[in-house]
């Protein structure tokens, strides 16, 4: 108890000066009035509570200063029960595909949650991460260093899309399948603790570039200021950053993603964890010798708030995880998510919904892929 009290006191008072205090008032959920746009089905309806996020310039790297907020682009008004008429079993079909996969391997569920994040941060939530290489585009997103070879769950999306095309051809977008699958994986991995309704109506993108993964997906070595900037570019705030980082309570990571933290002293990682990791990881991991380890040594297959206790105990892999204790603001959020029962689960659900609205495509710049999620029509 004494150790816990010290940790809480440290986090609340902050051992370091507050970082990026200017972001404290960043507006996270002010409603944005979106003009009506064509929708793949039915009349557009306002999605309550969270505003669609406008698309920033695609050339802005994650490490650069975020651009000034731009006027929102026209986007479809997503709505609950979007496929109620055209494909009533759509969400059930996706959920069953996720259920079947996570029963066999819970790690696939972690991959699906990560896939939703990686899809939305590059070209928006448009299924562009699913596109395979072609002669015309040999280097799509899925081959970018943040995705290949670590991103997984593609076979679950394939299975869901095949079943959907059989039940109701040409109706359900791959972009929606990704977001539904991440929602369902969160539900199963949290034993029902994370459960939220999700609107549908996204269009699939036709563009996918490997180099944009490096520009927009924050790497594990980012410091807090860089992380805040990369999230702000996508319309997400500091609280979203802390809450979505909690997904590191599940899944695995390649040793190369944190090898510097266990091989180059001094490091703030728990010495006991560093010793364990050194036994599992080669001294110099490379493409042919880069094992994976669990991100949460306590509850590796459970989506829960254990991550935040691991942060406080310095039992986390990435510099980006450890950086959450470098400002008073984020350290306080870590403590709240760690010790207020049910708080993180509720906030995670809300943040996942907010993320699912990033740069949603319209009929003018999207489509509904019909044959496969891996190729454009």
- 37 lies in some domain: no
Question: pLDDT grade, residue 371 (50/70/90)?
Answer: confident
Active-site annotation holds for 248? no
In a domain, 150, yes or no: yes
Q: Work out the average pLDDT over 40-49.
A: 35
More confident residue, 111 or 29: 111
Residues 238 and 227: their CA atoms lie apart, in Å, by 9
Q: What is the pLDDT of residue 17?
A: 36
pLDDT at 42 > cutoff 60: no
> How far apart are alpha carbons 62 and 173 in whole angstroms?
27
For range 243-268, the mean pLDDT: 91
Predicted confidence at residue 77, as pLDDT, reads 75
Q: Are 128 and 121 in contact (CB under 8 A)?
A: no
- The per-residue pLDDT for 3 is 52
Q: Is residue 138 part of a domain?
A: yes
The more confident residue out of 339 and 9 is: 339
pLDDT tens for each residue of 65-106: 333 333 334 445 799 999 999 999 999 999 999 999 999 999
In a domain, 160, yes or no: yes
Tell me: cis bond preceding 65? Omega within 30 of 0 counts: no
Q: Is residue 151 part of a domain?
A: yes
Question: What integer pLDDT is reported at residue 264 of this predicted model?
Answer: 73
Is 196 domain-assigned?
Answer: yes
How do residues 181-207 score in pLDDT, each as one tens digit? 999 999 999 999 999 999 999 999 999
**Residue 156 or 36, more confident:** 156
Determine the pLDDT at residue 341.
96
Helix axes 174-189, 343-355, angle to 10 degrees: 170
| pLDDT for 37 | 34
Number of separate domains in the chain: 1
- Give me the CATH number covering residue 154: 1.10.520.10
Asked which of 36-50, 121-135, 183-197 is least confident by mean pLDDT, the reply is 36-50
pLDDT at 41: 41
Catalytic residue among 79, 95, 114, 118: 118
Is 317 a member of any domain? no
The verdict on residue 368 lying in a domain is: no
Range of the domain at 148: 90-215
Per residue in 140-179, pLDDT (tens digit) is 999 999 999 999 999 999 999 999 999 999 999 999 999 9
Structure-token pair, residue 107: 């790690």
The distance in angstroms from the start CA to the end CA of the chain is: 59
Give the mean pLDDT of the chain.
84
pLDDT at residue 188, rounded to an integer? 98
Q: How far is CA 258 from the centre of its chain?
A: 19
């Amino acid at each position: 108890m004494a150790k816990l009290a010290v940790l809480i006191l440290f986090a609340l008072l902050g051992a370091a000066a507050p970082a990026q205090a200017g972001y404290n008032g960043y507006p996270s959920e002010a409603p944005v009035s979106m003009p009506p746009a064509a929708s793949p089905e039915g009349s557009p309806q306002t999605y309550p509570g969270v505003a669609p996020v406008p698309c920033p310039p695609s050339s802005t790297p994650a490490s650069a200063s975020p651009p000034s907020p731009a006027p929102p682009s026209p986007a479809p008004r997503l709505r609950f029960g979007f496929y109620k008429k055209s494909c009533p079993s759509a969400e059930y079909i996706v959920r069953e595909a996720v259920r079947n996969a996570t029963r066999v391997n819970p790690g696939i569920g972690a991959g699906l949650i990560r896939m939703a994040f990686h899809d939305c941060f590059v070209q928006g939530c448009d299924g562009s991460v699913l596109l395979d290489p072609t002669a015309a585009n040999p280097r799509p997103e899925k081959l970018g260093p943040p995705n290949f070879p670590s991103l997984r769950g593609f076979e679950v999306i394939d299975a869901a899309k095949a079943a959907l095309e059989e039940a109701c051809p040409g109706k359900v977008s791959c972009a929606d399948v990704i977001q539904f699958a991440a929602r369902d994986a969160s539900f199963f991995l949290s034993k029902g603790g994370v459960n939220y309704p999700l609107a549908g109506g996204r269009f699939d993108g036709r563009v996918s570039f490997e180099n944009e993964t490096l520009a927009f997906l924050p790497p594990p070595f980012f410091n807090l200021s860089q992380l805040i900037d990369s999230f702000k570019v996508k319309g997400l705030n500091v609280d979203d950053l802390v809450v979505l980082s909690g997904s590191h309570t599940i899944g695995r990571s390649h040793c190369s993603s944190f090898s510097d933290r266990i091989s180059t002293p001094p490091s703030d990682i728990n010495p006991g964890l560093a010793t364990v990791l050194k036994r599992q990881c080669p001294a110099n991991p490379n493409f042919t010798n880069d094992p994976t380890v669990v991100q949460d040594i306590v509850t590796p297959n459970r989506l829960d708030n254990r991550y935040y206790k691991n942060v406080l105990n310095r039992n986390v892999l990435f510099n980006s995880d450890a950086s959450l204790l470098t400002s008073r603001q984020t350290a306080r959020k870590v403590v709240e998510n760690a010790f207020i029962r049910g708080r993180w689960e509720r906030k995670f659900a809300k943040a996942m919904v907010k993320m699912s609205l990033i740069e949603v495509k319209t009929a003018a710049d999207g489509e509904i892929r019909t044959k496969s999620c891996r190729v454009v029509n």
